[in-house]
Structure 1
Amino acid sequence: MKLLKLIENVSFTSNQPLDKIKEIEVKDIAYNSRNCEDGFMFVALVGETVDGHKFVKNAYDKGARVFLLQKNSKFSKYAMDLNEDAIKIFVDDTRLALSKISHNFFSQPSKSLKIIGVTGTKGKTTITNYISTVLNESGVNTGVIGTNGTFYNGIYETTSNTTPESYELHRIFKKMLDNGVRCVAMEVSSGGIMQNRVEDVDFDLAVFSNLSPDHIGPKEHPTFEHYLQCKAKLFKLAKHGIINVDDEYAEEIIKAATCDIETFAIENNANLSAENIKYSKEIDSLGVSFDCKTAEDTFPCYICSPGTFSIYNALAVIAVCKYLGVKKEVMIESLKTAKVDGRVQVLPVIPYATFIIDYAHNGVSLECILQTLKNYEHNRVICLFGSVGGRTEIRRKELGDVAAKECDLAILTSDNPDFEDPMNVINDIAQSFEGSSCEILKIPDRSEAVKTAIRIAKDGDMIVFAGKGHEKYQLINGEKVYFDEAEIAKSEAKKVMEERELLA
């Protein structure tokens, strides 16, 4: 693509006159110098800990001759030493510019797709995957982008972030479009919004699930207000908004919105609501049924996921699919079997106890799942969990406080300890159990912790493996080490059942 076409709608200055660069061809874009080749443009992104301007010489040596640079970077001096054939394009914000040039480079693919953005603290993964399930069942080829990766037409691609960098995002859109995808349900994280990754995505729909304090710290959002503002920005980028008005921050989201708004709720008046809620328990699932009430009619729904939060997720999906013209009958049938790996995932490994894998990794999420389980007949509630190493200790206390209040037994273990000793994290969490009636076991090896949970399970126990969810690794000393919680649980459960048969 011609350089001037690539940087269309980008305000810039250059070290070269326009007539000299107008015929320059750019083969591709890279924001990691190691990915550069002959004919590439290198974009120097300014991050919290790494500044891409330090690597312009590496990019030049790899073959890049066009450089997108940020005017105020304290490391822009590195670009001054490049050879005279280097074309330097200076902008106010390289991350914002990367969004625009990626949009251009891939021929603005989001304009040809129906893009549904889902934001909120909890529920994004479930809602996007449920939307995909229903729309695909209705005949609309739909892809997913989010925490669990990218899915479309049986193709899977991992993502390093819930909301990928803008270049990756538009690349994925183009690939989906070329493969017949017509609709994309994507998770939109507050970090993705803050870092301008979605600035040039043509959102048709935006969904708000809920909001609670999270991702607040030195390398994330400085305050909760900033976190809220980032979430709210999605409703300035979309044409139509769908909002959970039972959430205490819904009014602020609506005030900030510039798009049309419709609502869903359980407790308040809304365009869509749920009533006559009933819980059910099967060997391989915990479910809930309800009646969905709209302006036109009321119809019964069932989802094989438990709790009030699951109803909110289902209402969001119904609102989206209804807006897109999906038949009511298709929605009802599709939601009955819709599931997401690692999200309230029931493992039917032992007939006398219920094992659940869930991604709950903060206090709010853990409290939600544990309180939900108490709606079902049970003996003990047991939770196996840890907290990320090298991160804020506030989350450790939140998790510990919740488990100490809601559980009969807590198994404290590791969860992506990275460079921190897992016992440091476990001991921090354990402080919450002082004076609590909840018993604790400290088992730093998560594999051994899972095996212990399987072996100590009694009739009617409900055991939650919290924190890992869909993840198939443990982050240890900077490396992702393979770890499959479900696989370990199934293997140990098989041994336990075989032992029981021998003793019978």
Structure 2
Amino acid sequence: MKLYDLLKHVSYTVVQDGDPVISDVIYDSRKVEEGTVFVCLKGYTSDGHRYAQPAVEKGAAALVISDDLDFAVPENVAVVKTADTRLALALMSAEHFGNPAEELMTVAITGTKGKTTTTAMIAEIFEQAGIKTGTIGTLGIVYGGNTYKTDNTTPESYEIQKALRAMIDAGCKAMVIEASSIGLKHSRLAGMTFDAAVFTNFSDDHIGGVEHKDMAEYLYCKSLLFRQCRKAAANCDDPAWRDITKDFAGDILTYGFSEQAQLRAKNDRLLSENGFIGVHFETEGLKTLSLDVGVPGKFNAYNALAAICAVSFFDIPDKAIIDGLKIAHVQGRVEPVSVPGSYSLLIDYAHNALSMENVLTTLRQYNPNRLITMFGAGGNRPKVRRFEMGETSGRLSDLSVITEDNSRFEDVMDIIEDIKTGLHKTDGKYVVVPKRKEAIRYCMLNAEDGDIIVLAGKGHEDYQEIKGVKYHMDERELIREIIEEEKLS
């Protein structure tokens, strides 16, 4: 594609004329090849303009800049200047990949909490309706049964556009993305008009440092999503919903427990039976449904309502909604694993005291026969985390099973001793099983009817790091092996 075709939606001035054929759009100078355009991004700690000369030396045919350069650019290299190179990168990337969002059903989710779970719920509902769906968010880029790790919840715009084109090539018809405030602030979602956008909730987060200077900026950045969507839904039980959605030109579909909501939840209750842990509720207004949601905690009724609103903008049957919400889960976030017996086994990423407190407090509400927590702590990390995790588990669990978790360059038994220091501040019972697979085996073989067992710490991770080496270890695989080895049924 010619340079000026890539720039068709970018406001720019020509510094050095030329309209070369561009093979790729690059923002990392290490990836520059002959015939590419290099876009100079300004980051928190690095400025792409410093790498413009090396990019030219490696064969860049064009440069996109926002600041003046301090070297003489060869005459055969085109240079254009724009006020915002991040915005330019987004618009150019969309053109480079053929505006793939226009070929997909697209939904974007913003909010402080619930983005990942709501994304998973929407994707599962689409799948139940026979619509192959890709997702982009905290867990990475996911489609076709594969997960591709990303550095950010909302990746750089080029990576998003590349992923959308790959999803289409893989047969996807829909895409759901987590729209973070930072992603919106840095124009990573520019160049797309989403079919639907959803607001979940708003609370204090991401303030200070290199993120947002204050709550006002944080809210403003989230509101940017509603300038680029065709339909919109919002949690009207959250007082910030009007400010977040104020720039949306159309009518907002509202959801919540309040009488003012267009999709209302009622008769909610926690569910725990035959290994299923979740929440039941019914809806009225926009839809009349009776739902069992397979993710624990009343707050997930809100996430389910958000998902229902999002898919209501498309021709999705109620059966797909009911079936999708029952089986939807987020990998590594209170993720249920099917096991023989009348107990519940969950995998969760909780790897510090706060996340452990949140998970165990939620599960306590289900009044389990016993709440059993298996966990370890990372090596070469502050010891206070271990003390705090031990104390939290000892206080909230009926039994703690202490094991390994990325011991890195420390001895796992030294880490366990630190965890025990925290446990000893409580009356909590505990056992030590240093090898993680054997700790899981211990939990499963000693499970009683009505127990809830949480394997905490690894979540979506599929490795164990020991002395600088990452060994493959997926807890789901370990559970299957134990079931086969022990002939459990």
TM-score normalised per structure 2: 0.82
Partner of 2:460: 470
For residues 491 and 465 of structure 1, the distance between their equivalents in structure 2, rounded to whole angstroms, comes to: 16
- Residue by residue over 1:236-258, the C-alpha shift from the partner in whole angstroms, topping out at 9 and shown as x without a partner, is 33232212233354354244655
1:193 corresponds, among 179, 184, 187, to: 184
Change (3 A) 1:102 1:476: farther
Partner of 1:378: 368
2:290 corresponds, among 300, 303, 326, to: 300
Q: Which amino acid aligns with 1:206?
A: A
Partner of 2:106: 115
1:37 corresponds, among 19, 33, 37, to: 33
For residues 257 and 128 of structure 1, the distance between their equivalents in structure 2, rounded to whole angstroms, comes to: 21
- Residue by residue over 1:193-243, the C-alpha shift from the partner in whole angstroms, topping out at 9 and shown as x without a partner, is 232211222112111223444444534444455443333322233232212
Partner of 2:154: 163
Matched, 1:136 2:127: yes
Change (3 A) 1:436 1:470: same
For residues 467 and 215 of structure 2, the distance between their equivalents in structure 1, rounded to whole angstroms, comes to: 30
Q: 8 Å contact 1:274–1:291 — kept in the other structure?
A: yes
Structure 1 residue 67: Cα displacement: 1.7
Q: Which amino acid aligns with 1:275?
A: K
Partner of 1:145: 136
Partner of 1:11: 11
Partner of 1:49: 45
Q: Which aligned pairs between 1:143-292 and structure 2 lie closer than 5 A?
A: 143-152=134-143, 154=144, 156-160=146-150, 161-178=152-169, 180-216=171-207, 218-247=209-238, 249-255=240-246, 257-267=248-258, 269-292=260-283
Q: 8 Å contact 2:294–2:326 — kept in the other structure?
A: yes
Deviates more, 1:222-231 or 1:304-313: 222-231
- Residue by residue over 1:64-96, the C-alpha shift from the partner in whole angstroms, topping out at 9 and shown as x without a partner, is 221222317xxx54xx26544333333333222
Equivalences, count:
488
- Residue by residue over 1:352-394, the C-alpha shift from the partner in whole angstroms, topping out at 9 and shown as x without a partner, is 6432112456777645532332233423323345778899999
Change (3 A) 1:46 1:442: farther
2:58 corresponds, among 40, 55, 62, to: 62
Q: 8 Å contact 1:146–1:159 — kept in the other structure?
A: no
What's the RMSD between the two structures over aligned residues? 4.0
Partner of 2:331: 341
Deviates more, 1:57-66 or 1:195-204: 57-66
Structure 1 residue 399: Cα displacement: 7.0
- Residue by residue over 1:121-173, the C-alpha shift from the partner in whole angstroms, topping out at 9 and shown as x without a partner, is 33323322322222233344433222334344x36351413322101211222
Q: 8 Å contact 1:117–1:205 — kept in the other structure?
A: yes
Q: Which amino acid aligns with 1:470?
A: H
Matched, 1:332 2:322: yes
For residues 65 and 12 of structure 1, the distance between their equivalents in structure 2, rounded to whole angstroms, comes to: 17
For residues 49 and 430 of structure 1, the distance between their equivalents in structure 2, rounded to whole angstroms, comes to: 40
Q: State the SS of the aligned residue for 2:226.
A: helix
Deviates more, 1:376-385 or 1:356-365: 356-365
For residues 233 and 434 of structure 1, the distance between their equivalents in structure 2, rounded to whole angstroms, comes to: 49
- Residue by residue over 1:465-504, the C-alpha shift from the partner in whole angstroms, topping out at 9 and shown as x without a partner, is 2343223235779876533233334445666x47x99xxx
Structure 1 residue 312: Cα displacement: 1.8
Q: State the SS of the aligned residue for 2:277.
A: strand
For residues 120 and 385 of structure 1, the distance between their equivalents in structure 2, rounded to whole angstroms, comes to: 30
Q: 8 Å contact 1:31–1:42 — kept in the other structure?
A: yes
Change (3 A) 1:388 1:164: farther
Structure 1 residue 267: Cα displacement: 4.9
Change (3 A) 1:50 1:151: same
Change (3 A) 1:180 1:266: same
Q: State the SS of the aligned residue for 1:15.
A: strand
Q: 8 Å contact 1:245–1:270 — kept in the other structure?
A: yes
Identity across matched positions, percent: 38
Change (3 A) 1:188 1:386: farther
Q: State the SS of the aligned residue for 2:119.
A: helix
Q: 8 Å contact 2:391–2:425 — kept in the other structure?
A: no
For residues 186 and 392 of structure 2, the distance between their equivalents in structure 1, rounded to whole angstroms, comes to: 32
Structure 1 residue 101: Cα displacement: 1.0
Structure 1 residue 188: Cα displacement: 1.6
For residues 418 and 259 of structure 1, the distance between their equivalents in structure 2, rounded to whole angstroms, comes to: 53
Structure 1 residue 434: Cα displacement: 8.1
Q: State the SS of the aligned residue for 2:16.
A: coil
Q: Which amino acid aligns with 2:291?
A: C
For residues 48 and 396 of structure 1, the distance between their equivalents in structure 2, rounded to whole angstroms, comes to: 32
1:86 corresponds, among 71, 77, 94, to: 77
For residues 205 and 378 of structure 2, the distance between their equivalents in structure 1, rounded to whole angstroms, comes to: 14
Q: State the SS of the aligned residue for 1:104.
A: helix
Structure 1 residue 175: Cα displacement: 3.5
Structure 1 residue 183: Cα displacement: 2.5
Q: Which amino acid aligns with 1:145?
A: I
For residues 192 and 398 of structure 1, the distance between their equivalents in structure 2, rounded to whole angstroms, comes to: 33
Q: 8 Å contact 2:20–2:62 — kept in the other structure?
A: no
Q: Which amino acid aligns with 2:60?
A: A
For residues 445 and 439 of structure 2, the distance between their equivalents in structure 1, rounded to whole angstroms, comes to: 10
Q: Which amino acid aligns with 1:52?
A: G
Matched, 1:28 2:24: yes
Change (3 A) 1:237 1:384: farther
Q: Which aligned pairs between 1:279-428 and structure 2 lie closer than 5 A?
A: 279-295=270-286, 298-349=288-339, 351=341, 353-360=343-350, 366-385=356-375, 403=393, 406-410=396-400
